[in-house]
Structure 1
């Protein structure tokens, strides 16, 4: 079964504001309640440093797993203004949106 992932990336930059508690506790649950059954799952990556890099490239990334981009957009568009207005409550970062086809790679058995 093919799936689509909608990823919202929040690039790290000096002085940028991102309230992770608000994002995880308010914004993400609000978005999921509005999107309903169009979302199979939602995960969040929280950027951390990893040697040899001193800082993460992204503060956070939210990943919506969906059956199709069309199904996601049909659920999102009626709530777009509300959800976009809420972004200012947790960040001043301009997000980058990536839509990807998810491919499963199964490791070879030894």
Structure 2
């Protein structure tokens, strides 16, 4: 099993609309990805262990069956996905595919 991890770094004066991301962007992405998705988890970073600001404002983990199928969907819909980002944030996401051990 694999996990697509999307991280949005916590930067001063950044903008992030959690309601739009949760209620509009993620459902649209899940529809595109179809049955490749096993589950998804959205988290809001609150703080580091020492009480300082969290390193990441938003974290999304999407467990998938196939990284190849994920890559194909992202390739086919890249322009749409990228064009939707400004609707909820001015941050640049960090995206990686992880193998769940």
Offset at 1:59? 0.6
TM-score by length of 2: 0.91
The answer to whether structure 1 residue 85 and structure 2 residue 67 are counterparts is no
- Greater CA drift, 48-57 or 26-35: 48-57
**Residue of structure 2 aligned with 1:65, choices 63, 66, 75:** 63
1:38–1:75 contact (8 Å) kept in structure 2: no
Matches within 5 A, 1:1-110: 3-103=1-101
Counterparts of 2:67 and 2:44 in 1: how far apart (Å)?
24
Deviation of residue 99 (structure 1)? Answer: 1.3
Q: Which has the larger radius of gyration?
A: 1
Gaps of 5+ in 2: none
Structure 1 residues not aligned, in runs of 5+: 104-110
Q: What root-mean-square deviation, in Å, do the aligned CA atoms of Structure 1 and Structure 2 show?
A: 1.3
CA distance in 2, matches of 1:48, 1:32: 25
Q: Deviation per CA, 1:11-66, whole angstroms, max 9, x where unpaired?
A: 00101111101100111111111111121111111111254232111011111111
What displacement does 1:77 show? 2.3
Structure 1 pair 30–54 and aligned structure 2 pair: CA distance change class (3 A): same
